[in-house]
């Protein structure tokens, strides 16, 4: 996760998880080169690349669109997958031993719940707040004010959950952790200052733990 704080994603910066070597022998797709057509600096691209590294896959990020002009698109020898969440879910399911999608059906459902929460309750308001700061589109002050309150509510939910949990689901990193952490990085760098973060001690402990992985 530490590379999330840098604009580029060289694969050498990823520490291979302990199961990575076995993944290549268990799953045939692990030996096939894949290309991810996406914006390399987008947090959604980083989400897919972190998941890929955890399961032991070498995925090349290619700036720009695929043949059909869509991004993000993961190109495999069997076909293409589009949508950042679908790509991340596919990659996370490559290896059961790694456990990015949990150890059982219940954990898988919990991970899906947090991924959906991240998409709708966290990313939407956070992007409304962050993207104007990044110069993507002009700020609408009323929208920013509402977004700040919605971000605060989402972070409160996460902070309360992490009071009694080291990770989002189970006892190891899962796609839920990857999704939420990647979604937070731009906000942590650009808008969530020390005063805003102060009430969310559990969340910050978890966030720093993820970056240290």
- At 77-109, the pLDDT tens digits run 888 999 999 999 999 999 889 999 999 999 999
> What is the per-residue pLDDT for 31?
55
**Distance (Å, rounded) from C-alpha 44 to C-alpha 175?**
12
Pairing of strands 73-76, 79-82: antiparallel
> Does the pLDDT of residue 27 top 80, yes or no?
no
Q: Categorize the per-residue pLDDT at 41 as very low, low, confident or very high, splitting at 50, 70 and 90.
A: confident
CB-CB contact of 60 with 36 (8 Å): yes
Our measurement of the distance from residue 13's CA atom to the centroid of its chain's CA atoms, rounded to an integer in Å, reads: 17
Q: Is 201 left (phi over 0), alpha (psi -120 to 50) or beta?
A: alpha
- Digit-coded pLDDT (tens) for 120-177: 999 999 999 999 999 999 999 999 999 999 999 999 999 999 999 999 999 999 999 9
> Does the pLDDT of residue 29 top 80, yes or no?
no
Higher pLDDT, 67 or 83: 83
> Does the pLDDT of residue 28 top 60, yes or no?
no
**Cα distances (angstroms) measured from residue 213 to each of 4, 133, 181, 210:** 11, 28, 12, 5
**Distance (Å, rounded) from C-alpha 107 to C-alpha 192?**
30
> Does the pLDDT of residue 2 top 60, yes or no?
no
19 Cβ neighbours under 8 A, 6+ residues apart:
55, 56, 95, 97, 98
Higher pLDDT, 40 or 121: 121
Q: Categorize the per-residue pLDDT at 65 as very low, low, confident or very high, splitting at 50, 70 and 90.
A: low
**Distance (Å, rounded) from C-alpha 46 to C-alpha 36?**
11
100 Cβ neighbours under 8 A, 6+ residues apart:
51, 54, 55, 91, 92, 93, 173, 174, 175, 178
The Cα angle at residue 108 between residues 104 and 111, in degrees rounded to 5: 140
% of residues, the chain, pLDDT over 90: 72
> Does the pLDDT of residue 186 top 90, yes or no?
yes
Mean pLDDT of the chain: 86
């Amino acid at each position: 996760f530490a590379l999330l704080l840098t604009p580029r994603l060289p694969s050498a910066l990823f520490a291979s998880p302990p199961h990575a070597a076995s993944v290549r022998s268990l799953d045939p797709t692990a030996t096939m080169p894949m290309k991810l057509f996406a914006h390399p600096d987008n947090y959604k691209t980083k989400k897919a690349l972190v998941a890929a590294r955890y399961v032991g896959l070498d995925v090349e990020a290619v700036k720009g669109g695929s043949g059909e002009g869509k991004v993000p698109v993961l190109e495999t020898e069997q076909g293409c997958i589009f949508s950042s969440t679908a790509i991340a879910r596919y990659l996370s399911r490559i290896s059961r031993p790694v456990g990015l999608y949990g150890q059982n059906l219940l954990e898988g459902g919990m991970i899906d719940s947090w991924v959906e929460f991240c998409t709708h309750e966290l990313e939407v308001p956070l992007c409304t707040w962050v993207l104007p700061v990044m110069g993507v589109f002009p700020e609408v002050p009323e929208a920013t004010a509402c977004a700040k309150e919605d971000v605060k509510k989402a972070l409160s939910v996460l902070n309360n959950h992490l009071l009694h949990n080291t990770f989002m689901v189970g006892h190891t990193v899962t796609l839920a952790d990857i999704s939420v952490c990647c979604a937070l990085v731009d906000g942590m760098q650009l808008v969530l200052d020390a005063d805003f973060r102060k009430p969310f001690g559990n969340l910050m402990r978890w966030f720093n733990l993820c970056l240290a992985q």
